[in-house]
Structure 1
């Protein structure tokens, strides 16, 4: 299974698109995918002024992005977890710091690093089949790409703890009520809402929008640089525990039977 990240520039939108081969599987992340995402962000950052906002989406109707792929997860240990966490942080921070508004368009399930990817976007618009989860605790791991920081900023500490500690997914209506997502609905209405948002943003000053984004992000995330190191340290401690080793072995064994 191979995940690919492509970029489309069709004014006024840019699109970052996750696709997977063979189709029908969930897009997942490894170092190569992070590199492709970084390239996509770089392309968009240097695009002309006719590009006014960015959509991040998947070609799969049942999945957005589900975090680390199986191969990457099997190769991570207590020694390699720190560069893995820092690499993801660096790329997701690039996405958050784009001067353009960024919208995660979520259809189906997103979990782990996929939810952290969506959290690095300014808005999350979702189909009515969307589900959101942080399953790391079930594997003895830590959300390592900013989830421990961005999630409570978006939905509050108590609900962030519930999502992280339980590792259970929540449906789109709950995600909306909690303030995790901006909108959810059937596909036709979803496209209408996105079109209206695109029209509104495009009618406004590009410079003003960019400056407002920078100011709001600065107000919300004063400790963001430190968070990279804190999540890396916590991930290293978790990865070195015998409980995590057992949980990962059980997970890999179950996956090998599929």
Structure 2
């Protein structure tokens, strides 16, 4: 027991929490890839909405490119980049939902007509930038929820996999069909899917390109909830409101502890948990929680 405690103590002394999900040696590459497409021109296919009143703190990213079933082209990628960047700088944002305004589709994947006009080097740059964009989404400090009605295929499913939670309607269709196009999922699908559903099942879905429905997605743990068709947004909003009522710093630290802790040895992960817990101790929100409990009222958190 004494030897074990000494080992833990040594680990705590040497543990250094990451300030970024990207290793320092790769941060320049991430910035360079984002710079390939990112500019400040407005996107016609992605919009950002900040909810108000009692829902203040919940933000929605809306996909709307109906003519190609929300296929991801350069305009949509630019819109996603700029929108995620804006959310990362918004201290008032507590929860993010990504949804589609196009009926019966979340996102059909890559814009293959646009892709056909690209050279090999342009395709490589586009896919690298898309992968980096989804990685940026994944490491946003706030919880993210994908609202899936209809098709979420290829890059569309990879975007959903980059979110913390996924809610789908029972008529949703999900899959990674890239091997049928003689390529592989290139925006994180080969890495995130097995981490969510397990290696063997992920291999089957990627090798065969098989599409699955909402109920099966729920049964294999790909989505958190499968609800009647058309009700995914209502369920996601219910969850977002529940999260929005909690202490914002606590929720962010919980996400950090879980996500970063799973990438390191358990001893280092426990040290990370300690560091994250420490961040919640000297906050006004923690004092507000204790006061609200004593006064038998609902706490009013400010994120301080």
Name the TM-score class by shorter chain: 0.7 to 0.9
- Secondary structure of 1:14's aligned partner: strand
Change in 2 beyond 3 A, CA 1:215/1:150: same
For residue 187 of structure 2, give the secondary structure of its aligned residue in structure 1: coil
Asked whether the equivalents of residues 151 and 172 of structure 2 are also in contact (C-alpha less than 8 Å), the reply is yes
Picking from 51, 57, 64, the partner of 1:19 is 64
CA RMSD of aligned residues (A): 1.9
Query: Which runs of no fewer than 5 residues in structure 2 stay unpaired?
Result: 1-42, 265-304
Report the alpha carbon displacement of residue 219 of structure 1 after superposing the two structures with TM.
Answer: 3.3
In the other structure, the counterpart of 1:129 is: 171
**TM-score, with normalisation over the residues of structure 1?**
0.78
Partner residue in 1 for 2:79? 36
2:151 to 109, 112, 119: 109
Among 34, 42, 45, the alignment partner of 2:88 is 45
User: Residues 156 and 15 of structure 1: is their aligned pair in 2 closer, same or farther, counting only changes over 3 Å?
Assistant: same
For 1:18 and 1:196, how far apart are their aligned partners in 2? Answer: 20
Alpha-carbon deviation of 1:192?
4.7
For the residues of structure 1 that align with 2:144 and 2:44, how far apart are their CA atoms?
21
| Higher alpha-carbon Rg | 2
Structure 1 unaligned regions, length at least 5: 223-258
Q: For 1:159-238, what aligned pairs fall within 5 Å after superposition?
A: 159-187=201-229, 190-221=232-263
Cα distance change of structure 1 residues 178 and 21 upon mapping to structure 2, 3 Å threshold:
closer
The answer to whether the Cα contact below 8 Å between 1:4 and 1:20 also exists between their aligned partners in 2 is yes
Question: Structure 2 length normalisation: TM-score?
Answer: 0.67
Q: Deviations over 1:222-246 (max 9, x none)?
A: 7xxxxxxxxxxxxxxxxxxxxxxxx
Whether the 8 Å CA contact 1:153–1:220 is kept in 2: the answer is no
* 1:97 alignment partner in structure 2: 139
What displacement does 1:100 show?
Answer: 1.0
Summarize deviations over 1:146-174 as a string: whole Å, max 9, x none.
00000000000011011111112101111
Helix, strand or coil: the match of 1:80? Answer: helix
Task: Kindly state the Cα deviation for residue 204 of structure 1 after the two structures are TM-superposed.
Answer: 1.4
**Which has the bigger relative contact order, CA under 8 A and spacing at least 6?**
1
Matched-pair contact (CA < 8 Å) for 2:145–2:236: no
Matches of 1:42 and 1:90, distance apart in 2: 12
